[in-house]
Amino acid sequence: MENTISNTTKHTITTETATYNERRYGRPWIAAVEFADNGDSKFDFGNWTGSPGDKGVLTIIAATGTILAEGQRDHRTKDAQYIKYYLVNPDGTLEELGNKCDAYKYHIEKKQAEPDMTALEAEKKSLLGRIAEIDKILNADK
C-alpha cells in the first residue's frame, strides 16, 4: 500500500519473521534509522505482531529513501543483537545496505549529494537583487 504525502511516497513495509527460541532470543523488531553527523543513530520502532517464539509480521510505514534496521536480541551475551540495515526503494522494496557502518556511509553519501536548499535560496535572492540593480542601470539611459 502506498500513499503520497507532501511529495514523499510512504510505503507500508511488512516482513515475516520465523519461529525462534524465546529463551534465547528477544522479539524481532524493525525501525526507521536517523543518523546524526557524529554517527550516533536514533531508532523509531515499528510493530511486531505475533506470539513470543512463534512466526510473526514486522510492520512499519516509511518514506522512499528511509534507512531501516531489522533485528533481534540474543540473550546469551550482553548487548548482542543481530541487525541488518536496508534502504526503502521508490517501489517499496527493500535494498540491503549491510551493517551499521555501511548504512552510515550511505547516509553520508546521500547527505553530501543533497543540495543545501537554504543556501541556494539565499544565493538566488542575492542574484535576483543584483540583476535588478543591473537592469536599473542599463535602463536609466532610455
Q: Tell me the per-residue pLDDT of 21-76, one tens digit each, with 9 for 90 and over.
A: 998 999 999 999 999 888 899 999 999 999 999 999 999 999 989 999 999 998 88
First to last CA, the chain: 61
Burial class of residue 120 in the structure, from the number of CB atoms within 10 Å of its CB (0-12 exposed, 13-18 middle, 19+ buried) = exposed
The dihedral formed by the CA atoms of 4, 9, 14 and 15, expressed in degrees to the nearest 10: 170
Query: Residue 7: pLDDT above 50?
Result: no
Domains of the chain, with CATH numbers? 2-114 (2.60.40)
Q: What is the pLDDT of residues 82-91, one digit of tens each?
A: 899 999 998 9
Dmax (CA) of the chain: 87
